[in-house]
Structure 1
């Protein structure tokens, strides 16, 4: 994905909402930055933020589902980087399908900030460090909170 055409992520008024952030510990230099930016987006929006760390990206969906039962929005963060085997494809497909299913089943927005990259450099460029081209932790959090606000409005 090139990132071309994506909207600019800016804080929303999410006071009174809760957002759970689930992040993998794999590629900690990347996921720590994603978490920092996701927390910043939640704070900028006035939401109550909680962070949970899991071993790897495959563990993210089950914890996202648990948080979806008690949060207004949930954000999944991780970094899956292609290696020499098909493992990359299996992990990416499983995580994406799991997050989509959870969002639909629980009727809670799930921001997908799990990076699926060809290289570590690509992951860094999407992590929100100064000078990077994308800020997926911030973007995924704002998108989840914005969707939670919309669902709240539609349900009232």
Structure 2
């Protein structure tokens, strides 16, 4: 199970504005991912959450970038791509992954990566945070975004005070 060894990322991000950008494909999986992300954000003290729906996983990056540029403190990107019988899976998975990383690097805004790339729908359901799922990747993506946000704020505050960020 890939969730084995996952860190505890409990942080206080009260007062932060977070956008959850979620694909529209595979409704049951997406409902679970969104619910998991919302729970993690609430647990992190975030009350200002905006849900933005994307047509598909390929479109997540452009919407995440728009949210980052619009002033959201963090973005949680959620989607699912299930392998089919054509190379489409590899192209979309690679493009979506690379583009979401680029959004974070280009804007400096944390992007929680909740894009499931699975061989089967059963694998996706098992990671969706549903009652019978073994993992909750929506929650994990939101926790990662908040942990990165809090750490970035600490690093920026440290460097603004003339300290060294590499201590």
TM-score by length of 1: 0.95
Q: Which moved more, 1:129-138 or 1:112-121?
A: 129-138
Q: CA deviation at 1:155?
A: 0.6
1:71 correspondence with 2:65: no
SS in 1 for 2:59: helix
Once residues 119 and 7 of structure 2 are traced to their aligned partners in structure 1, the CA distance between those partners, rounded to angstroms, is: 24
SS in 2 for 1:58: coil
1:2 — aligned with what? 2
Once residues 153 and 8 of structure 1 are traced to their aligned partners in structure 2, the CA distance between those partners, rounded to angstroms, is: 18
1:151 — aligned with what? 152
Q: Which moved more, 1:136-145 or 1:43-52?
A: 43-52
Map residues 1-150 of structure 1 onto 2, 5 A cutoff: 2-9=2-9, 11-47=10-46, 48-69=48-69, 70-150=71-151
> Larger radius of gyration, structure 1 or 2?
2
Once residues 4 and 41 of structure 1 are traced to their aligned partners in structure 2, the CA distance between those partners, rounded to angstroms, is: 19
Once residues 30 and 12 of structure 1 are traced to their aligned partners in structure 2, the CA distance between those partners, rounded to angstroms, is: 26
SS in 1 for 2:3: coil
Structure 2 unaligned spans of 5+: 158-167
TM-score by length of 2: 0.89
Once residues 4 and 142 of structure 1 are traced to their aligned partners in structure 2, the CA distance between those partners, rounded to angstroms, is: 16
Structure 1 unaligned spans of 5+: none
Q: CA deviation at 1:43?
A: 1.2
1:43–1:49: 8 Å Cα contact kept in structure 2?
A: no
Once residues 51 and 139 of structure 2 are traced to their aligned partners in structure 1, the CA distance between those partners, rounded to angstroms, is: 14
**Aligned alpha-carbon RMSD (Å):** 1.2
